[in-house]
Each structure stands twice: as C-alpha cells, then as structure tokens.
Amino acid sequence: IMSTCLLEMTPIITDPNTLVLGEGVRRLHVSSAFKAKVAMSRFEPGTSISYEKLHENIDIVRKRLNRPLTLSEKIVYGHLDDPVGQDIARGRTYLRLRPDRVAMQDATAQMAMLQFISSGLPKVAVPSTIHCDHLIEAQIGGVEDLKRAKEVNQEVYNFLATAGAKYGVGFWKPGSGIIHQIILENYAYPGVLLIGTDSHTPNGGGLGSICIGVGGADAVDVMAGIPWELKCPNVIGVKLTGSLSGWTSPKDVILKVAGILTVKGGTGAIVEYHGPGVDSISCTGMATICNMGAEIGATTSVFPYNHRMKTYLNKTGRADIAALADEHKDDLIPDKGCKYDQVIEINLSELKPHINGPFTPDLAHPVSEIGAVAEKNGWPLEVKVGLIGSCTNSSYEDMGRAASLAKQALDKGLKCKAAFTVTPGSEQIRATIERDGFSKILRDVGGVVLANACGPCIGQWDRKDVKKGEKNTIVTSYNRNFTSRNDANPATHAFVTSPEIVTAMAIAGTLKFDPETDYLTAANGEKFKLEPPNGDELPARDFDPGQDTYQHPPAESGSVMVDVSPTSTRLQLLEPFDKWNGKDLEDLQVLIKVKGKCTTDHISAAGPWLKFRGHLDNISNNMLIGAINIENDAVNKIKNRLTGEYGGVPDVARHYKANGLSWVVVGDDNYGEGSSREHAALEPRHLGGRVILVKSFARIHETNLKKQGMLPLTFADPTDYDKIRPDDKISITGLATFAPGKPLKGVVKHGDGSQDIITLNHTFNENQVEWFHAGSALNRMKELQ
C-alpha cells in the first residue's frame, strides 16, 4: 500500500479518523489545475493526523481538570507525552509534549543540523523540513538575486541538501519561498503541533495550528524523538466583534494588540482569538495576526477552526484534511465557558488603520495621526522606500489589495514617489500573481519584484539610496522594526503597517498621508482619493504552483556524504562544551552592562552575518556588537579589565577566555527579545561566558541559554541592576544544591573592595539543571544514549 501511495502521490486513509502524511506536498499539474498530493514513504516517519488520539488526550485532561478548555489547551494538552500523569498548571509547570513536525529555515538549520549530526543519531524521528529563505540578498530583482544567492551560498545549500538527504529531512530549495508561507500552504492544519526554528513560526495559527518558535537545540530534541519541554502557557483571549471593512486590514488587529500588550505583554502566554468577528478575516489574514504575535513575546497565537480555513485547505489541495477537521470540529474550537487569564476585546467595525514605530513594533499610532506625531518628534516625513511582502503579509489577498491601489494610481497617470519593493511569500504566490497580472501592475507603478525570500525584512538588503547614518523613513508590511534591522542604518526610521497603507504611502511619498481622508493629484491636475483596497481572498482559477522546488529525502541514504571542510569559513563541526566542574562560579568579570533594549539582533546581528550561521567561531565575532554599553553609551566599545584598553565586545571576550577569565553579561528587561536565533546563546558560551544576569528574559532566548549550559538568571529585586558597576566581578553561589525553585546568591565585588549580596532567581526545572551539569542539552542527550 505504501509503495502504491508513493508512486501515485495520494493520501492514505488508514481509518476514518486518521490521515497519514509524509515529508512534503508534491505539486502536480493536472488538466491545468493545481492539485497538492501528499506522499508517504516507508523509509521515513509519517505524520498521523489522528484526531481520535487528540480527542482521547483532550478528554483525559478535561476530566482531570474538571473544567472547560480553551482551544490552546486542547491542542497543547492533546499532544502531552503523558496526559494521565502530567502535572498541569498554567504558568508554572513544564509540559512534556510530542510535536508532530519540525521546520527549519536555512540560517538556523545549519546549526540545528550540525547539532543533530553531533548527536550521532541516524535519522530524524519526526517529519522535518529545511527551507532556504534567509540567505538571498535583495539587490536587483528576483531572478538576478536568486541566481547570485545560489552562487554565493553554494557550500551552505549543498550542506543542507545533503544533510537533509542523509538524515531524512525534506529540503525546500532557494526560491521556494518563506518558511512560514510554505508551512501554511503545505504542512499546517487544524490541531497540529509544529515547532520551527524561527520566531515567526506562529504564522501557522491562522490555520488553527499551534506553531511555536524555538531554538535549534529544541528542534534537535524533537527530531531525536525526545519529548519537548514547554512551560505550561497562560492563555490571553482576544475577543473580536464586528467585521473588517474599507481600509482596515487583519494587520491592524495585531498592530492594535501590540500597542495594548507591548513587546513583552504576551510572554509566557498563548494568544487565542475568538468571537464573532473571526469569521470576517481570511485564513491568510489570521496567519498575519498570529505571525506578528511574536512581537509581543507570545508563545504563539491561534484562531479556531472555521469555514475560512476550510476554504483555504480545499484551495491548497487538502480537502481530505478539511473533511476530517469538519468531523472533529468540537476539538478545534474552545469549549463554551472556558476561562482566559486576560481578555482583550476589539470591535473590528471601529478599528482604524494603524502604523507602528519607529524602532519598536509596539509603538502604535492610527494612520490618521502619524503625520502629526512624526512632525512633533522630528521623524522624517518623506517616505524613501515602501516595502510589501515578508512572511507576515505576502499572501494572494495582500498582493491583490495592494495591486488594486496601484491600478488606481496608474489610471490617474501616477507612479510611486517612493521606491517600492514587493516580496512574494512563495513560488506558488509568485507564479499566481504573475499569471493574474498583479506583478505587472506593481512593477508598472514603480515596484521591483524581489525573490521569494525574507530579503529586507531580516536585513538582507543591499540598500544604495541613503548613506549609513543618514536620517530617513521607510514603511514596511513586515513584523519587526528594531534599530538597524532592515538596512543596517541606525538612523533609518522603520514603520510597520499593512501592505495597503505601505502602497498608499509609497504612492504619496509621505508619512503624512491618510488615504481615508487625503487627496492625491492626478497627472492632469485633478484631485482624487484612493478608493478602499479590494482583492480576492484566494485565486478564482486555483493556484499556479510554479516551479517544483522541493527535494524529497531518498529512500536509501547510506551513500549520501555530508562534507564539512576543516578550512571552510562558513561551516564548522561542533565541539562539545565543557561540563560544570562542581564548584560555584567565582569572580566572573562583568563583560558588559547593557543599557536598555537588547534584542537578539543586538546580541547576534543578521544581515551580512547570516553567511556565518554555520560557523560558530566566525559568527561569534558579532556577539553583542549592537548592545549599548552603559559605561559610555557606545556600541561595541568596552574596557578590557586585564589590559585597561578599550576594544570590541567579542575581542575582549576572546582575550578573557584566552586568559582563563570567565565572564557575565548584565542586562535590562525582556533581554533576548525578537528572533529565535540560538547563536545569541551559543556565542556567549563559545567565548567564555557563564551567566547572563538580567531583569527579565524573552522566552525563547532564556531556553536557548539553558540548552547551551549557560545560567540565565534574573534579579529577585530588579533595582539590584543599579548596584552592578561595569568593572565588578560577580560570584554565583549555591550551585552545589542548584534545584528548581531555589534561588541562587550573587556576591557582587566592587573595585573599591565593597560587596553587595543579591538574590538571583531562575526558572530551571530538574531536566534543565541536568543540562547545566552536563554542559549542554546536547551533552546530556549523549549521556542518555
């Protein structure tokens, strides 16, 4: 049966409640219509969409807790390794879960696969995929940029392709599209639990999935068949009433929520949308909202299963899954009477278009007010570049609505006053908007269609129109707008909004343009207003799949070779970190006391550094080069306490390590906010760091630090941050009895001979304490083999 299935590429229904899937959705042209078929191979693990098993686990937990469950709880608890014995308490206990699938983007997949190779395991235990989307630099246009990326990154792409083939991991080639769009089109489905090595993995929540961003070490656990740990999340409910219309878009929902909750308001929680307003949002619109939930620190976000999701599943060749979801809908929506830890209510009929920024994604403004706010704050009003696309807003609907505005401008003889770029989310989206004429309209209005990749959203942008340090404004439909993120220019004021507002502002050329009330001047001098955008949710003629860019793992991989040259500058096999020596950590030198916001972009910058993501020593040269040193308000300039000279942060860290001096970083609130990149945890460990001591952590980064044998600690009294001086040494005591729930002590030794004793909290559980003892989670995995 399996052989027949593999040849015919059709789903196997083993019973009425279970659909068995394999590694990837194979695309076939049949009678000019797109049909996605799912293949299963006997040689690699399949995914069982077992709604019966999900229901069984939910029923066990509901009876144990004796209360109605939220949708988030149903899916998460439905994947418990031990639903009978698992201790369950929101915000307190650690859950042991069995995710259905792993997805990795190419920048993080390098380190994840290097760690998996180090584990010594022969094959992945769950279906897993690699997606090549991060290493393509936006420079000229899609075709040229993709060709250049394949040449520049040939060594890395070859490593990922062969490692995938060797260990049973599907490989989506460069040009396939952005990981989260590929997941939505192919792998997400209502009720699935998926982890991805990218912070915007929650995008899949738009299809009723629990999709969570993690570091590569977490992915290795799941690929190794080990239960994955997650602190039992709280659940924030967002009740939507009314309906979207006019210029208001799904993006405005999350822009509003970000303004309410701020960049750390969702930490430790799943955001669950519900209410009658949900049905007015398309499936890809729901994905947009879930995607940007990463900007409020949420574990993930999710919407309940509805007819919009069913339509999307049918249109992307997954009618069988939609039929099963219909049969089990009660497990894919929240129970009546379920309780949320916090509830926010938004009336979509009253919601106005928003734009957030600059420099942080939670600084929310109505579009009608941004011009006045910008004038008051001295932000540049001229929009230099408008950029639409990214994993957040690159759907068919997004592109169609943007094109409807561009067409209005063209009809009046106008083109964009600002530069304008367009990033399709996937090869399927690119091919379909090309066929349906959207790409031509967007090019005609002045746009450049870039490759199906992340591009400028993650700093992969060879920008030429302004010099570094030149103050300017850009507007994007992206998700993140930290200082220097898009173009490495700290003076760029980046604003996040919907594709529709980006397009309108690119046409007008100014931040001081409200398309709901303001007029444009046509080529003939006539004044006119843009009509509200419109666009079909999904293409009337089905999707055009474009080129087949998926590589299925071979049935036999014994002859596949995965080579890493010892002289490579881009790839480096890993050496195990040292185990804990059984003693307290004495006299750790403060390497840097960080002032203010410190995201993973500050700790391990992207952009040009992406090329070193597979080479730990080389990428460590970017460690904390974007963090502000409280001693001098400078970046990448700290005092070497051994020499008395100032140098770059990585250079001083290397000097300390060479001289046997371990060190500690001291930071502020929400330390490690942003991307899931575990390099921000690997680099400090590699360069001799032992402790990161801060007021509070972002979830993913804290876990990543634990995985690498670091001690992420927080001040029991946040005001103790002020007691630390840049030249201090700190000893961490109490490690002999290091245990869950038991604080440690910090002895802060000042240069004048005085001391402060402070209490330090941690969130380690018993398994995580063993990671620390072993030197890393990977070391502990090897001990248990």
Residues forming the active site: 133-134, 198, 480, 675, 677
Contact 156, 149 (CB under 8 A): no
Spatial neighbors of 223 by CB under 8 A, at least 6 apart, are 102, 116, 121, 124, 125, 126, 128, 167, 169
Cis? peptide before 127, omega within 30° of 0: no
Residues in the chain: 785
Q: What amino acid occupies position 626?
A: G
Q: What amino acid occupies position 712?
A: P
Strands 585-593 and 729-733: antiparallel
732: which strand partners? 585, 746
How is residue 198 annotated by DSSP?
Answer: S
Strands 755-761 and 711-715: antiparallel
CA–CA separation, 730 and 753 (whole Å) = 13
Contact 207, 309 (CB under 8 A): yes
Token pair listed for 12: 């196997």
Return the half-sphere exposure (C-beta side, CA atoms, 13 A cut-off) of residue 657: 15
The whole-angstrom distance between residue 575's C-alpha and the CA centroid of its chain comes to 27
* Exposure class string for 725-758: b at 16+ Cβ within 10 A, else e: bbebbbbbeebeebeeeeebebbbbeeeeeeeeb
Contact 407, 444 (CB under 8 A): no
CA–CA separation, 4 and 680 (whole Å) = 46
Contact 313, 322 (CB under 8 A): yes
Neighbours of 606 (CB within 10 A): 24
CA–CA separation, 215 and 681 (whole Å) = 9
Contact 690, 711 (CB under 8 A): yes
Spatial neighbors of 581 by CB under 8 A, at least 6 apart, are none
Give the three-class secondary structure for 627.
Answer: coil
Q: Which among 176, 180, 177, 178 has a CA at the least distance from the CA of 188?
A: 180
Vertex 142 angle, CA 140 and 146, to 5°: 95
Q: Which among 342, 103, 393 has a CA at the least distance from the CA of 219?
A: 103
714: which strand partners? 694, 761
Contact 494, 484 (CB under 8 A): no
Phi-psi category of 679—alpha, beta or left, where left has phi over 0 and alpha has psi -120 to 50? alpha
Q: What amino acid occupies position 674?
A: G
Q: Which among 396, 343, 362, 395 has a CA at the least distance from the CA of 294?
A: 362
Q: Which among 631, 607, 629, 609 has a CA at the least distance from the CA of 620?
A: 609
CA–CA separation, 459 and 138 (whole Å) = 9
Neighbours of 462 (CB within 10 A): 14
Token pair listed for 760: 């330090």
Q: Which among 672, 677, 722 has a CA at the least distance from the CA of 692?
A: 672
CA 655 vs CA 332, 634, 644, 651, 652: distances in Å: 55, 20, 12, 6, 5
Give the three-class secondary structure for 237.
Answer: strand
Q: Which helix (H) or strand (E) holds 250?
A: helix 250-261
Q: What amino acid occupies position 304?
A: P
